[in-house]
Amino acid sequence: MMMTLLSGDGPRSRLLAVILTCILIGLALAPFLFPGVRSVDTAARICVFILLVASYDLMLGYGGIVSFAHTMFFGMGAYGVALACTHMERGFAGLIVGAGAGALLAALVALLIGLFSLRVRAIFFAMITLAVASAVAVLVSQLSGLTGGEDGLSFKTPRELTPAFKFGDPLFGVKLNGKLLSYYLVFFGSFILFLLLLRIVNSPFGRVLQAIRENDFRTEAIGY
């Protein structure tokens, strides 16, 4: 069952398997092992950055493509959620619309960048992505009225994800409130997307990415 979830791509050694299992258990039980708002927020950030690094590994580790614009797309998704929650009524609709809009914008920008940047290779491709990322960073800073600039944005999440929402009596000294729900939304969302990335790298598409990394000329010659 576990190997099926991992798409047959288990850890390469028992020691690594033990370490990864401990990390997974630690994050799954973080609100109970490390009670406190700051600790839970830190654990949630760890979940998000694990997913961010895994997604970059798909491009660099499996595709051999060096890009300096990866976090730019991450930021588009984040701003999509933040702006939607700011300008829409408080609720889950803002999260859903914002996540969808951010993902769509990131896909469109990636397509536009790819139309001209993929015509070059190696360091030239990396420099183009760096230039685009730098230009977007300056643009976001200049549009401070919309993006908040260096200060970022403060927005309201659904009430069900705030400490004010309580759904039970304390469990092992931990308050059962919206803050706990918010953490597990991030945790399970990151976990499911991580498993999806594992599925991608172990699919025929993932094998093609690895072939491109090893020898792009030969891969193109056989029809990919």
Give φ, ψ of 174 to 5 degrees.
-105, 130
Q: Which amino acid is at 37?
A: V
Summarize the confidence of residues 56-63 as an average pLDDT.
88
* Range with top average pLDDT, 91-100, 171-180, 184-193, 202-211: 184-193
Q: Return mean pLDDT, the chain.
A: 87
Q: How high is the pLDDT of residue 15?
A: 92
Summarize the confidence of residues 19-33 as an average pLDDT.
92
- Spatial separation of the C-alpha atoms in residues 97 and 208, rounded to whole Å: 33
Q: How high is the pLDDT of residue 187?
A: 96
Summarize the confidence of residues 210-220 as an average pLDDT.
85
Q: How high is the pLDDT of residue 153?
A: 80
Residues 6 or more apart in contact with residue 126 via CB below 8 angstroms:
66, 67, 68
CB atoms inside a 10 Å sphere around CB 175: 15
Q: How high is the pLDDT of residue 5?
A: 74
Say if residues 119 and 106 touch (Cβ distance below 8 Å): no
Q: How high is the pLDDT of residue 62?
A: 87
> pTM for the full model?
0.86
Residues 6 or more apart in contact with residue 191 via CB below 8 angstroms:
47
pLDDT in tens, 113-154: 888 776 777 788 888 888 888 998 888 888 888 888 777 788
Share of residues in the chain with pLDDT > 90 (%): 32
Say if residues 79 and 145 touch (Cβ distance below 8 Å): no
Residue 4 has pLDDT above 80, yes or no: no
Instruction: List residues bridging with 166 in a β-sheet.
Output: 177
